Amino acid sequence: MAVLAPPSSDIDLWEDASLADPYPLYQQLRDLGPVVHLSAQDAFAIPRYDPLREALADWHSFTSARGVMMNDHVNSAFTGIVLHTDPPEHDVMRKVLAAPLRPDQLRLITPRVRAEADAVVDRLVHRGRFDAATDLAQHLPLTIVSTLVGLGDFGKERMLEWAAATFDAQGPVDRARTRAAFPKLDEMVAYATQEVTAEKVDPAGWVAALYAAADRGALRPGQPEAMVMDYTGPALDTTIFATSSAIWLFAQHPDQWDLVREDPRLIPHAINEVVRLESPIQRFSRVATRDVEVGGHLVPEGARVLMLFASGNRDERHYPDPERFDVRRRPSDHLAFGHGVHACVGMNLARLEIRLLLEALAAKVERFELLGVERAVNSTLRGIAHLDVAVS
C-alpha cells in the first residue's frame, strides 16, 4: 500500500476561541484522517485513538528528548526533566521519581490525606456555597507540594501562578499568550533550580530523596535540581482541573452522582471517566526521529507531532457515544494520563486526592447546584477557573 501525504488543515488549536472550545475542532481533525498536517504550526496532529495509542507506545520513532512543548524557549527551559528524556536515561530517572508515588507508599500517607480531604469537605459543606475550583480543588495539591514534596511554605504562594504560566508558555511562540507567560516560567525555573537547595527542603520529603539518590550515585549531580520540577510543575493544575471538572460534570448529571453515592466503589471509574471527557492536559508533542507511517500516511523525519490526548479520548471509533458522561463506562484505557514509557508517574497520587474528596462529598452532598462557571483559558490545559456551587 502506498504511503500517502497526510491531509492538511488550517484549524488553529491555539486561537482563544479554540482553547475555549476545542472539541468541535478535534472532531473535524478526527474526520480528516489518522494524522493531519496543521498548516498554522507546520506540525502534525494525531487525533484518533488507535494511532495515538500506538504512537505513544513507540518512543523510538517519537522522541521526547527534543521537548514535548510547542516552542524552543520552554523546551530548553525544561531540559533535564524526566518528561524530556528517552530511555535508557528516562528509566533511571523515573525509577527514582516514582518511589514515593507507588501504591504501597501512597497507602502509608492515605490517612493523612483523608483527614485533610474530610476537613476541607466538612468546612465547605457547612458553608453551603463555595468555589469548587479554588476552595475545594486547590487545597490537597498545594498541601502536598508543601508537606510531602517538602518545599514548606517557601514558594507555595506563587506555586499556582507559576503552574498555570508553565502550561500557558507551552504554546506556539507566535502567540501573545505564550510569550506573556515566559517571564513567570523563567522565574519558576530559577526558583526550582537555584533557590530550592538540599538545606532548605524537608529532609523527609520527596525532593530530599532526589538529592539522596544523587549522593548514592543513582542520579548524576545536577539532576535533582531539574527534577524538582517533575514534582511541582505537573502536579497542581492537572489535579485541580480534574477535581473541578468532576464537580462540574456531577452538577450537570445528578443521576450519575446518585449512582456514585449509592455505590462509592464506582468512584475510581468515575475519575477515569472525568479525565477521559475533560482531559486536563489536552496535548503534548514529540519529534519524529525518522520517516514514520501513521495509519498509512507519512510523517517526515524531524516533524513535530502533536499527541492529542483529549481528542483520542473522545474518538467515536473507540468509545461508543463518546460525549456522554457515564460513570459505569470503565474507560480505564483512556489516554488522559498518557500511555507508554511516559505514562503519568503521578497518576496514583492524583487519583488518591480526587477519590478522597469525592468519597467525602458522596457521604454528605446530595446535590450540587451550579451558580456560575468561568473557564480557565490555557495553551495546554483544560479546566475551570471559578466554579460557584451550592450544595444540599
- Contact letters (x/-) for other proteins, 305-344, by CB under 8 A? -------------------------x-xxx--x-x---x-
Pairing of the two strands 304-307 and 43-46? parallel
Per CB under 6 A, which of residues 277..306 are in contact with ligand HEM?
A: 280-281, 284
Per CB under 8 A, which of residues 347..366 are in contact with other proteins?
A: 347-348, 351, 355
> How many other β-carbons are positioned within 10 Å of the β-carbon of residue 68?
25
Give min distance, CB of 90 to ligand HEM, in A: 6
133 contacts ligand HEM (rule: CB under 6 A): no
Q: Choose among 376, 313, 387: nearest CA to 50.
A: 313
Give min distance, CB of 36 to other proteins, in A: 26
Per-residue burial over 32-51, b if 16 or more Cβ lie within 10 Å, else e, is: bbbbbbbeebebbbbbbbeb
- Contact letters (x/-) for ligand HEM, 79-118, by CB under 6 A? ---xx----------x--x---x-----------------
275 contacts ligand HEM (rule: CB under 6 A): yes
Please give the full DSSP string across 204-257, using - where no structure is assigned.
TSHHHHHHHHHHTTSS-TTHHHHHHHHHHGGGSHHHHHHHHHHHHHHHH-HHHH
**For other proteins, which stretch binds (CB under 8 A), given 99-107, 213-221, 232-240, 362-370?**
99-107
Q: Which residue is nearest to ligand HEM (CB)?
A: 346
Chosen from other proteins, ligand HEM, none, partner binding at 350 (C-beta under 5 to 8 Å by type): ligand HEM
Per CB under 8 A, which of residues 18..37 are in contact with other proteins?
A: none
CA distances from 325 to 5, 245, 248, 255 (A): 36, 12, 11, 10
Rounded to the nearest 5 degrees, what angle is found at the Cα of 139, between the Cα atoms of 136 and 141? 120
Integer Cα distance of 91 and 226 in angstroms:
16
Query: And the C-alpha cell for 83?
Result: 518528561
Please identify which residue in 147, 166, 178, 239 interacts with ligand HEM, judged by CB under 6 A.
239
Q: Which is nearer to other proteins, 30 or 339 (CB)?
A: 339
Q: What is the distance, to the nearest Å, from the Cα of residue 224 to the centroid of all Cα atoms in its chain?
A: 22
Strand partners, 130: 389
Chosen from other proteins, ligand HEM, none, partner binding at 283 (C-beta under 5 to 8 Å by type): none
Give min distance, CB of 268 to other proteins, in A: 5
91 contacts other proteins (rule: CB under 8 A): no
**At 74, is the secondary structure helix, strand, or coil?**
helix
Torsion region of 293: left, alpha or beta (phi above 0 gives left; psi -120 to 50 gives alpha): beta
Q: Which residues bind other proteins (CB under 8 A)?
A: 102-104, 107, 265, 268-269, 272, 330, 332-334, 337, 339, 343, 347-348, 351, 355
Q: Which residues bind ligand HEM (CB under 6 A)?
A: 64, 68, 82-83, 94, 97, 101, 230-231, 234-235, 238-239, 242, 275, 280-281, 284, 309, 336-338, 342, 344-346, 349-350
